[in-house]
Chains A and B, each alone.
Chain A
Amino acid sequence: MKARNLYIWVGIPFGVLAILFPRVLPEFQLRMVTEITILALFAMTWKMMLNEGGMFSFGHALYFGLGAYASVLGWLHIKGLSLVSGILLGGVVAGFIGFILAAFLVRMSGTYYALLTLAFNQLIWAIVWKWRAVTGGDDGLGRFPKPDLVGISMKDPANFYYFSLVIVVVCSFLCWYFTRTPLGNVVKSIKSNEERAKFVGFNTNASKLIFLIILGFFAGVSGALYAQFQEFIGTATIDMGMSTNVLFMAFIGGVGHFWGPLLGSGIYVYLSEYLSHFTDRWQLIFGVIFVIIVLLAPQGILGIAKKRK
Chain B
Amino acid sequence: METFAIQFLHGLAYGMLLFLVASGFTLVFGMMHVLNLAHVSFYMLGAYLSYQMFKMVGNFWVGLIVCPIVVAFLGILMERFLLRRVHEAGHMQELMITFGILFVLDEAVKWVWGSDYLSVPIPSALSGSVLIMGNIYPVYRLFILFFSLGILALLTILFMKTRLGITVRAMVSDRDMASALGTNIPFVFMLVMGIGSWLAGLAGVIAGPFISINPGMGHEILANCFIVTVTGGLGSLQGAVIASFLLGQLYSFGILFISRFAIVFGFLFMAVVLIIKPSGLFGEKV
A-to-B contact residues, CB < 8 Å: 56, 104, 107-112, 114-116, 118-120, 122-123, 126-127, 130, 240, 244, 247, 251, 281, 283-284, 286-288, 290-291, 294-295, 298-299
B55 interface contact, C-beta 8 A? no
Q: How far is the CA of A206 from the CA of B85 in the complex (A)?
A: 38
A104:B275 contact, CB within 8 angstroms: yes
Question: For residues 205 through 242 of chain B, which have their beta carbon under 8 Å from a beta carbon of chain A?
Answer: 219, 223, 226-227, 230, 234
B107:A115 contact, CB within 8 angstroms: no
B104:A288 contact, CB within 8 angstroms: yes
B106:A126 contact, CB within 8 angstroms: no
Query: Chain A nearest CB: distance from B246 CB in Å?
Result: 15
A112:B271 contact, CB within 8 angstroms: no
From A107, A108, A111, A286, give the contact of B103 (CB < 8 A).
Answer: A286
B108:A284 contact, CB within 8 angstroms: yes
A291 contact set on B, CB distance < 8 A: 82, 97, 100-101, 104
B130 interface contact, C-beta 8 A? no
From B91, B263, B271, give the contact of A116 (CB < 8 A).
Answer: B271
Query: Chain B nearest CB: distance from A99 CB in Å?
Result: 16
- A–B Cβ pairs within 8 angstroms, 18 of them: A108-B274, A110-B286, A111-B33, A112-B274, A112-B279, A119-B227, A119-B230, A123-B271, A130-B261, A240-B219, A247-B96, A251-B96, A284-B108, A288-B104, A291-B101, A295-B85, A295-B97, A299-B89
Produce 1/0 per residue, B31-47, CB < 8 A to A: 00101000000000000
Q: Interface SS of chain A: helix, strand, loop or mixed?
A: helix
A122:B267 contact, CB within 8 angstroms: yes
Q: How far is the CA of A295 from the CA of B263 in the complex (A)?
A: 36
B226 contact set on A, CB distance < 8 A: 115, 118-119
Q: How far is the CA of A120 from the CA of B219 in the complex (A)?
A: 17
CB contact under 8 A between A123 and B274, given known A115-B226, A244-B99: no
B99:A290 contact, CB within 8 angstroms: yes
Beyond A120-B271, A126-B263, A286-B103, 19 extra complex contacts between A and B, CB < 8 Å? A104-B271, A108-B286, A112-B279, A115-B226, A115-B270, A116-B271, A119-B271, A127-B261, A130-B264, A284-B108, A287-B100, A287-B102, A288-B104, A290-B96, A290-B103, A291-B100, A294-B96, A294-B100, A295-B85
Chain B CB within 10 Å, residue with most, of A107, A109, A119, A298: A119
A299 contact set on B, CB distance < 8 A: 89
B93 interface contact, C-beta 8 A? yes
B111 interface contact, C-beta 8 A? yes
B107:A104 contact, CB within 8 angstroms: no
From B101, B107, B230, give the contact of A281 (CB < 8 A).
Answer: B107
B107:A123 contact, CB within 8 angstroms: no
From B33, B103, B234, B264, give the contact of A284 (CB < 8 A).
Answer: B103
